[in-house]
Amino acid sequence: MKNSGKGFIFLAVMLPFVAEAQLSNPQQKTMIYPETKQENVKGTYFGTTVADPYRWLEDDRSEETKLWVEAQNAVTKAYLAKIPYRNDIRERLKKLMNYEKYSQPFKEGGYTYYYKNTGLQNQSVLYRQKEGGAPEVFLDPNTFSKDATSSMAGISFSKDGSMVAYQVSDGGSDWTRVIVLKANDKSVVGETLTDVKFSGIAWQGNTGFYYSSYDKPAEGSQLSGLTQYHKLFYHKLGTAQKDDQLIFGGDKTPRRYIGAGLTEDQHYLIISAANSTSGNELYIKDLKTKDGKIVPVVTNFDKNHSIIDNIGSKLFIYTNLNAPNGRVVTVDAAQPGVENWKELIKETENVLNASTGGGKLFADYIKDAVSMVLQYDMNGKLEHEIKLPGLGTAGGFGSKKEDKELYYTFTSYVYPATIFKYSVETGKSEVYKKSGVDFDPSNYESKQVFYPSKDGTKVPMILTYKKGIVLDGKNPTVLYGYGGFNISLTPAFSTANIVLMEQGGIYAVANLRGGGEYGEKWHLAGTKMQKQNVFDDFIAAGEYLIANKYTSKDYLASMGGSNGGLLVGTTLAQRPDLFKVAFPAVGVMDMLRYHKFTAGAGWNYDYGTAEDSKEMFEYLYKYSPVHALKPGVKYPATLVTTADHDDRVVPAHSFKFAATLQKDQAGDAPVLISIQTNAGHGAGKPTDKAIEEIADRWSFLFYNMGINYKK
């Protein structure tokens, strides 16, 4: 398918004094934090009163919140700056990351386009070249803003490649603006579209395109206010955005998420609509029929579906309806209802992701969290199994129908991301671009283990480390997890992890329930009133690592972001004795109020909400990180990270968690929060900010484990 697409009393002038006088030595045992005012604010849920003393931190526009952020950042920066080897780690990271990086190329019009980063550029640059010609810069996001905090958030070309629309995110926000160009001379066409969010761009010919957005929040700021209902618009070039035609959504068909795309032949408009992060409706519109109607294909939100291709009126649909691990079906567009679907690729024991390219179907299976890719013809006949370099993750099997070759990327925890060129006819692959990172895979190894969770469920985990390490329980180990939203953690190389492994460290990734590694059943086993399974799986992973002497509680750290930040926050509260260090990043920490901000209400499929029922409230209240912390407990050394422009998981979650943890901490371990400015949930983060964040993490880890960093 084409392009489917806050207060306490604290004076600002006191900040330097706090940073220097209170934390002149990071080895100081007793931390002194900025005072955080507690207010007598409460909520009532099914007769239970819940104190919410830090609710004022939810107001991201208030001067009090701003001062609190500045005070906390001052304390954190002063602590980290005193760690003697932090600069050494930062310089090592800069050296490791200073190599050319390329994306998979793609063809539009008479050009081949690709992204390239010369090494330490904050944003990757989009280049293009004609066959036999020299590369030229097409778009350089480093020029979008003075500090490189504006980034490219998406790009879409018209079918003939002559028109292009690209999205710009400022400061990491999910809100974007859309700029339209003539591809040939890069001249701007029409006005810039604003206030676009969670949107692809689907061109219809060269005269206009479809995009999605929300009304601006009626209450609160644009970065934290609730965004309820998505709207699909058609924008005709040369007209004002205020005159754009509403195609789907709004008052008549209110949906939280709406996406659109066109089939490659421009025959059908495809609309996907959902109210949560799992399950969607599906609609089509025949664009070759005058006054064609929007026709339903699937009219409930029970399962996931997407149209991946068509041949004339024959539609190819990926679905997990009656197939928890996924399958591919076909149907005629004239009668597209579920009752007329015909199975083309059957469900297997492995989880399926499907795409098309070069007139073929590619079935990308996840088998025990690693990739296996098969090529089928459009009649469902198996043609090739793609021979991959090893156990890892392959991705990118998609291209135009006429392409004779396509590109994919393969990576693993010990295999830097490499781009391969693939012949659709022969099924042979060849290296197109090899990673230039200074890393010798022969010195490292990855090992998959299966361990029992609390209820006996076998959970896979991949451990990566330098060959020859001694299992004496003294290896600094980072346990990473996510466990939610049907997302699969498959092997991927990280330059940042080289620093950990060079110091004898272990990077462990547990494939927890709630993810998608074993299909819908695995996902559902970690949702709503089964969510404790996710935390049990993560705790059991830590216990396995200790029992098998990979590490010990004095050398074990937990790490996760977003839903994974929730994971780290909850397990820190439930098992503070298990971890020495914790890294909750951009986490969902207040489970009673998460659905009241931005698009948070869409997460209710995984979490449920405190308003659903008394039972659901009590379940959430018990594990919610902000509420599960208790005074007088010795908690791990914790570095909370968030960003002021995170409008996916608003920073108030992390603010309230850090304030509560600082208040309740009975031990000597530090509780710090780092709040990046002009940054968001993670996408588009400039290289320099990423390096600073990683240097902070490893410095904090080694220092609090008592490990001397070796150059």
Active site residue: 371, 429, 681, 699, which one? 681
Query: Which element (helix H / strand E) includes 533?
Result: helix 532-547
Q: Are 494 and 557 in contact (CB under 8 A)?
A: no
3-class SS of residue 419: strand
Active site residue: 156, 562, 624, 699, which one? 562
Q: Are 248 and 300 in contact (CB under 8 A)?
A: no
User: How many CB atoms are closer than 10 A to CB 710?
Assistant: 10
Query: Which element (helix H / strand E) includes 97?
Result: helix 86-97
- What is the rounded CA–CA span in Å between residue 623 and residue 625? 6
**What residue ranges in 551-635 does DSSP mark as E strands?**
556-561, 581-585
> How far is residue 375 CA from its own chain's centroid?
28
- What is the rounded CA–CA span in Å between residue 32 and residue 25? 12
- What is the rounded CA–CA span in Å between residue 442 and residue 553? 29
Secondary structure letter of residue 293 according to DSSP: P
User: Two tokens at 413?
Assistant: 């925890």
User: Two tokens at 391?
Assistant: 């156990």
**What residue ranges in 171-256 does DSSP mark as E strands?**
175-182, 193-197, 202-204, 208-214, 230-236, 245-249
Sort strands 671-676 and 637-643 into parallel, antiparallel or unpaired: parallel
User: How many CB atoms are closer than 10 A to CB 222?
Assistant: 17
Q: Are 510 and 550 in contact (CB under 8 A)?
A: no
User: How many CB atoms are closer than 10 A to CB 293?
Assistant: 10
Query: Which element (helix H / strand E) includes 68?
Result: helix 63-81
User: Two tokens at 702?
Assistant: 């080694």
Residue in the structure block whose two tokens are 């710090």: 672
Residue in the structure block whose two tokens are 């509680």: 553
For residue 170, the cross-strand partners are: 150
Angle at 264 between CA 259 and CA 268, to 5 degrees: 60
- What is the rounded CA–CA span in Å between residue 661 and residue 638? 9
Which residues, in sequence order, are CB contacts of 561 under 8 Å at separation 6+? 482, 585, 586, 587, 682
Sort strands 245-249 and 257-262 into parallel, antiparallel or unpaired: unpaired
Q: Are 598 and 219 in contact (CB under 8 A)?
A: no
User: Two tokens at 360?
Assistant: 């073929």
Would residue 287 be called left, alpha or beta, if left means φ above 0 and alpha means ψ between -120 and 50 degrees?
alpha
Which residues, in sequence order, are CB contacts of 18 under 8 Å at separation 6+? 34, 71, 74, 75
- What is the rounded CA–CA span in Å between residue 395 and residue 406? 11
Is 681 among the residues known to form the active site?
yes
User: Two tokens at 216?
Assistant: 């601006």
Alpha-carbon Rg for the chain in angstroms? 25
Which residues, in sequence order, are CB contacts of 230 under 8 Å at separation 6+? 198, 212, 213, 214, 249, 255, 256, 257, 258, 273
The CA-to-CA distance between both ends of the chain, in Å, stands at 49
Q: Are 71 and 46 in contact (CB under 8 A)?
A: no
Which residue, among 419, 312, 318, has the nearest Cα to 362 in the 3D structure? 318
DSSP letters along 238-273, please? TS-GGGPEEEEETTTS-BSEEEEEE-TTS-EEEEEE
What are the residue numbers of the active site?
562, 681
